[in-house]
Structures are given as C-alpha cells and as structure tokens.
Structure 1
Amino acid sequence: MTAALAVGDKAPELELAATGGSNVKIPSGKGMVVFFYPKDSTPGCTNEAKDFSALKADFAAKGYDIVGISRDSLASHDKFIARQELTIQLASDEDGQACEAFGVWVEKNMYGRKYMGIERSTFVISPDGTIEAVWRKVKVKEHAKTVLTAL
C-alpha cells in the first residue's frame, strides 16, 4: 500500500484507458475532480456517479473535468454508463496502478472479514497537478455538491 496523498502534494502522473475510446491523463493540464469508487452498478457507486453527472456542467463552468475510477473493465464501465445514463467519463484501473498511486487501495473489514478494496475517495487536482482538496471514506449523500461548493 502506498501512503495516502494530501493537499499540496503533486498528483501522480498516470494515463488510464477510459470510456469513449480515449485515455485520461492525470494531471491533465486542466482542473480535475477524480473520484475513486469500489464497483460499477452498486447502489452507492451508482448514486455517486449520477450525482457527479448531474453537476457536470457546473463543474465545467468552474474549469474542472470529472473522472470516476474503479478497477472494473471498460466493458463494465460502458454498460454502467448506458444503464444509468451517466455523462461523466469513467477510467479503468484493472491493474490497480492508479489506486496504489493515490493510496486508495486499502484493507477493509466487513462482518469480520478482512480484504483489500478501494476506499471511496475524491481528489481535486489543479491545472498544475497539485492536489487542492481530498475527501476520504466518502459518504455518497450530497458529496458531489460538497465538492462543487469547495471549488
């Protein structure tokens, strides 16, 4: 496990395959909101992705693109987008490189069973690649609005 990134740190330089047949570069030279989520088509992840999609134009007006990242495949992401009518871009981190680099691949505990998984987290990255804000152990309700308000 990699140490968690904090405000003021430089974002790791990564390039991930993304929906729409493109790649996402982090940092991108523009403002970015990068949110890590555990699994496509699960209730919390669906609500979070829908909330960010609903506010996409508001984030764009402030100069920020949004990308969601999980370890699901691009095929899974494409189905998720189609099923939920999402407007945000999703990137695939099947090998876990981005999760490790951002420090969100953590040990979790559910019903006494320990396992490794993605800690729901959001990072705001400035155009110069500096991390401006971090939310860890995100609770989905109102989170997208909280991030927008913080910008």
Structure 2
Amino acid sequence: MSKKSRKKSSKTPSVTPTAKKTPVKARAATQTKLAKTQRTPASKSTGTIAKTTSHKAASKRLNSSKSASAPETAAKAGLAEGQKAPAFRLPRDGGGVVALSDYAGQKLVLFFYPRADTPGCTREAIDFTRLTGAFAKAGTAVLGISADPVKAQDKFRDKHGLGVPLVSDETHEMLEAYGAWGEKSMYGKSFLGILRTTMLLGADGKIARIWRNVRVDGHADEVLEAARSL
C-alpha cells in the first residue's frame, strides 16, 4: 500500500465519527435551549395571570360587599329630625336597666360614643357630667351609649367620676336603629363601628336635633343650648 493510501485510510475513521458526533451535540444543545425558552415564558406568564386574576377577584369581593352594605347603612342612618324615636330597653352601668319609656314626657339627650375610656369619649362623657345640673334645670335627661359591656361601663364611670347613666348595647340593635352604627375608616382601612352621634329627643318622644360626626370640644355645651331652646 502506498503512503498516500495509508494517509487517506488513517484519516477516514477520524473524520467519520467527528462528522457524526457534531450534528448530534448541536441538535441536543438546540433542543435544550428551545425547551428552556419554551418553559421560561410559560411559567412567567402563568404567574402573572394568576396574580392578576387573584387581584381582580379580591377587588370584586370588596366592591360587592361595600355595595351590598351601603343601602342598608344608608337606610339605618336615614333617621331624621321630626321622626318618632325608636324604643329601646338595655342594661346600664350599676346593673340596672334603662328604657325609652322611662323618659316619657321628658326631654332626653342620647350621646353615642365609640369606646369607653378612650381620650375623645372620656372628654365627652366628662363634659356631659359637668353639665348634668344644667341639663336637669332644662328638664332634660342625658344617657351615654356604647357597645361596651356593663363591666367596662362601670370601670369607666368609677375611673372618671361620671354622673350620667352609661348604656351597654353589645348587640348593636339600638345603635343601628338610631343610625349610630356604620362604616368607618382609619389608616386606610374600612371597618364597622360606632359613629359618634348625639340626638336630642323632645318631650313628645320625637327627634328634635341630630348631630353626626361629632367633634367633642364644646359639643356638650352646644347640646345644652339646644335643649334649653326646645
């Protein structure tokens, strides 16, 4: 065999495997890249859709709950001056019971406060206590109402020496009937609670004056003047 033939035959085996291996590796690499490319956008897309769907569903639930509660709240808050005051019978501080019928033929102030022994409610209750004698001279009784249990009302009374009866409406029945229970907001969050409200009832049992979204400072004095002029 000549040298040229030997050279050709020796090169043939080395060329053939290389030619076979190269396309296989290339195809494998291409398939791997293609698989990664197909998986990546799919997972990202799925995550985005899931988040978007979840966000939309939460928004709908929030909106539907608000829209459903709005008419009910508005209806209860629709108590107006000149209407007959809704009847009530509830426990009060000291273990007694108080009812609207107890004040028949007498003027009556009802001040609804959010929570016993909080700064604003304490100032308000102290102001009405300070003016108890003046209200009595004007033929007007005063009641404070919140959703606190009787024990909390007792502590509130004793701690600050309050002289007005403190009514406990844990079921919110009276609060809702008088439109003093509804949606509130604080730090960007909405919740249901007591709306600081005051009502002056005439001797005829009808609502003479309503104060909503009460500002505590000077409020008791304003109510006293209204009672005197009634």
Q: Is TM-score (shorter-chain normalized) higher than 0.5?
A: yes
The superposition leaves residues 29-56 of structure 1 with CA deviations (integer Å, 9 ceiling, x where unpaired) of 1211000000000000000000000000
Moved more, 26-35 or 138-147: 26-35
**In the alignment, what sits opposite 2:171?**
95
Deviation at 1:24, TM superposition (A): 1.5
Do structure 1's residue 149 and structure 2's residue 222 form an aligned pair?
no
Describe how 1:1-151 pairs up with structure 2 within 5 A: 1=73, 2-27=76-101, 28-29=103-104, 30-151=106-227
**In the alignment, what sits opposite 2:33?**
none
RMSD: 1.0
Aligned-residue sequence identity (percent) comes to: 44
**Aligned 8 A contact 2:85 2:207 in 1:** yes
- Unaligned 5+ segments in structure 2 are 1-72
- Unaligned 5+ segments in structure 1 are none
- In structure 2, distance between residues paired with 1:13 and 1:84: 29
**Aligned 8 A contact 1:4 1:104 in 2:** no
TM-score, L = length of structure 2: 0.64
Structure showing the higher helix proportion among its residues? 2
Deviation at 1:4, TM superposition (A): 2.9
Larger RCO, structures 1/2 (Cα 8 Å, 6+ apart):
1
Deviation at 1:127, TM superposition (A): 2.1
**Aligned 8 A contact 2:201 2:209 in 1:** yes
SS at match of 2:129: helix
- How many residues are matched? 151
Q: Please list every run of at least 4 consecutive aligned residues from structure 1 whose deviation after the TM superposition is greater than 6 angstroms.
A: none
TM-score, L = length of structure 1: 0.97
Structure showing the higher strand proportion among its residues? 1
